[in-house]
């Protein structure tokens, strides 16, 4: 990502590693929750109270930790001290016991850190309908608290993985006239990915000093153009949670409009990098597709068309088969619930994620151009492909990141038990 300059403030390019975030420590352990014995619990702890913000799944079937975190955020938006995450068990659809187990997990962490239970967020990911092994959780919390380190982020990013094949970390540094601060985050997600939001978890930490309402505004805006713009399979999870914590340890205050603009840009850069990595690591993915819908009458219509195309099994399998079957894209656009005029549709394919030119035009005014099939086929062989569909109805645009649908996706999900 190209560094951004806002007046006298500079935002660095995104780093895929997190060295440290002042005011925070992290740890990871194997608590025996996962059958494989791999790392399965992570703890991110702040040295003092943090401003907090969160966005959560809109699925009506919400996991116990999601309900707990929503309550804790409402009760204590300026005093959060920690986020604890377990993988292997989602603690979703587990009734009253699940609620009690999530609350007990928060109490265990609070006891280990010397804070209140409402100061702790809890996240879980894994199989639905399975209760947490609380003896293992308790032992894991003790080990996590003892192992907290400023550079523990790499281990934490591994511990939260389920079907992920790679860790997802991102960090930027913002240099301001008043000093330097960091925005960094880790995420997990590979399948069950679709807004709003996805089977994903993310924890973002910053040492900037920003109040909880300002942090919430920035996170909601960043989430809207990152995690809510990705699709792997069109399914929505029960556990999706993105948490942001601000320690203020840098002493750099985010107060003015320019300050908030810079902070928002940095937070968006981190969220976008993590969101893209989720698609790149999608279950069975062989193609990364950037989909631009332009010329829409309004933003909502642009997004609706883009999401309909991005979640279409026929479109996704065509990309897997390297088949430039553009008719599937137009058909998906036509059923999106937007009054599309087929005679105004223009469509381009291009190789790469950010091509320098528009690429190969396949459709003009709703009918095929005289493009060569072998040229389209060559683009479809690429690992990264950009698609642009212009509706010819206005000026609104939407960009969505999606992928193909392969045999491996079926195999992974046909045999998935964490």
16 is catalytic: no
Tell me how far apart the alpha carbons of residues 299 and 395 are, in angstroms, rounded to a whole number.
9
Annotated active-site residue in 163, 199, 290, 308: 199
Tell me how far apart the alpha carbons of residues 95 and 17 are, in angstroms, rounded to a whole number.
38
Are residues 301 and 221 located together in one domain of the fold?
no
Tell me how far apart the alpha carbons of residues 309 and 376 are, in angstroms, rounded to a whole number.
19
β-pair type (168-176, 4-6): unpaired
C-alpha 273 chain-centroid distance: 8
Higher-confidence residue of 214 and 277: namely: 214
Q: What is the CATH number of the domain that holds 142?
A: 3.60.70.12
251 pLDDT tier (thresholds 50, 70, 90) = very high
Nearest residue to 46 via CA among 19, 21, 81 = 81
Predicted confidence (pLDDT) per residue in 310-339, tens digit: 989 899 899 999 999 999 999 999 999 999
Nearest residue to 41 via CA among 144, 147, 150, 184 = 144
Please give the tally of structural domains in the chain: 2
Its domain, for residue 104, covers 4-280
Are residues 218 and 304 located together in one domain of the fold?
no
Given 256, 280, 304, which residue is the final one in a domain?
280
Residue 236 clears pLDDT 70, i.e. is over it: no
Q: What is the CATH number of the domain that holds 377?
A: 3.10.20.340
Q: In sequence order, what are the beta bridge partners of 361?
A: 348
**pLDDT at residue number 26:** 98
pTM, two decimal places: 0.88
Are residues 134 and 168 located together in one domain of the fold?
yes
Are residues 195 and 332 located together in one domain of the fold?
no
Are residues 313 and 237 located together in one domain of the fold?
no
Q: Where are the alpha helices (DSSP H) in 290-325?
A: 299-310, 313-320
């Amino acid at each position: 990502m190209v560094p951004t300059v806002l007046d006298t403030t500079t935002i660095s390019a995104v780093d895929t590693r997190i060295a440290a975030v002042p005011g925070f420590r992290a740890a990871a352990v194997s608590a025996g929750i996962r059958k494989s014995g791999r790392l399965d619990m992570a703890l991110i702890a702040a040295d003092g109270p943090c401003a907090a913000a969160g966005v959560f799944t809109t699925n009506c079937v919400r996991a116990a930790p999601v309900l707990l975190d929503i309550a804790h955020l409402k009760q204590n938006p300026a005093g959060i001290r920690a986020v604890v995450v377990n993988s292997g068990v989602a603690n979703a659809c587990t009734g009253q016991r699940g609620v009690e187990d999530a609350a007990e997990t928060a109490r265990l962490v609070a006891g280990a850190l010397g804070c209140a239970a409402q100061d702790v967020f809890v996240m879980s990911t894994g199989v639905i309908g399975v209760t947490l092994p609380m003896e293992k959780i308790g032992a894991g919390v003790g080990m996590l608290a003892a192992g907290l380190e400023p550079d523990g982020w790499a281990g934490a990013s591994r511990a939260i993985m389920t079907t992920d094949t790679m860790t997802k970390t991102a960090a930027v540094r913002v240099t301001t006239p008043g000093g330097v601060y960091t925005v960094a985050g880790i995420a997990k997600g590979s399948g069950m990915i679709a807004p709003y939001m996805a089977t994903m978890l993310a924890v973002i930490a910053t040492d900037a000093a920003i109040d909880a309402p300002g942090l919430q505004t920035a996170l909601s805006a960043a989430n809207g153009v990152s995690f809510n713009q990705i699709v792997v399979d069109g399914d929505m999870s029960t556990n999706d949670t993105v948490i942001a914590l601000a320690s203020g340890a840098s002493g750099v205050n985010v107060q003015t409009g320019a300050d908030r603009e810079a902070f928002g840009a940095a937070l968006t850069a981190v969220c976008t990098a993590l969101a893209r990595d989720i698609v790149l690591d999608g279950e069975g993915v062989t193609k990364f597709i950037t989909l631009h819908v332009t010329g829409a009458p309004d933003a909502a219509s642009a997004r609706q068309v883009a999401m309909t195309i991005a979640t279409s099994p026929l479109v996704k399998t065509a990309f897997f088969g390297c088949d430039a079957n553009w008719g599937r894209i137009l058909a998906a656009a036509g059923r999106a619930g937007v009054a599309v005029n087929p005679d105004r549709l223009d469509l381009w394919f291009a190789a790469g994620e950010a091509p320098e030119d528009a690429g190969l035009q396949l459709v003009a005014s709703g009918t095929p151009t005289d493009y060569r099939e072998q040229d389209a086929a060559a683009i479809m062989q690429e690992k990264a492909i950009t698609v642009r569909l212009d509706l010819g109805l206005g000026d609104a645009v939407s960009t969505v990141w999606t992928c193909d649908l392969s045999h491996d996706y079926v195999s992974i999900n046909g045999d998935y038990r964490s």
